[in-house]
Amino acid sequence: MKIDLEECVRCGTCSGVCPQNAIILTEFEVLVTERCNDCGICEKVCPLGAIEVP
């Protein structure tokens, strides 16, 4: 999955729905750990449409 950091405001909603608990937000970055399996749930919930899953 890819996050457009210019759209993202680090609100954390993606992290809350991630079944793998794979998304870690810091003040400046969004870290996606290797647990991510591109399930696409984060893409559906992102309020800004900043996430794209292939």
Partner 1 sequence: MYDVVIVGGGPSGLVSGMFSAETGANTLIVDRKVEIGTPVRCAEGVGRDPLERIGIKPKERWIASKIEGIRLVSPGGIEITAKGSKVLKGKAGYVLERKEFEKYLAEMAIRNGAEIRLRTTVLGAKRENGFVNLKMKCGGRVYYEKARIVIAADGIESRIARELGLPTTLKLKDTESGAQYEMYFEAEDPSLLYFYFGSEIAPGGYAWIFPKGESTANVGIGILQVLSKGRVLDYLDKFLELIGADKRKVIEINVGGIPVSGPIERSYSDNLLVVGDAARHTDPLTGGGIGNGMISGMIAGKIAGVKSQERKTSSKDLKEYEDKWKSEIGKTLERNLKIKEFLLELKDEELDAIAKVIKKKGIEELSVMGILAPVIREHPRLLFRIKDLL
In the complex, which residues of this chain contact partner 1 (CB under 8 A)?
Answer: 9, 11-13, 15-19, 21, 23-27, 31, 41, 44-49
Closer residue to partner 1, CB minimum distance, 5 or 48:
48
Spatial contact of 41 and 18, defined as CB atoms under 8 Å apart: yes
Spatial contact of 12 and 51, defined as CB atoms under 8 Å apart: no
Closer residue to partner 1, CB minimum distance, 31 or 54:
31
Q: How far apart are CA 31 and CA 3, in angstroms?
A: 10
In the complex, what is the shortest distance from the CB of residue 54 to partner 1, in angstroms, rounded to a whole number? 19
Closer residue to partner 1, CB minimum distance, 16 or 52:
16
Give kind and range of the element (H or E) at residue 43: helix 41-45
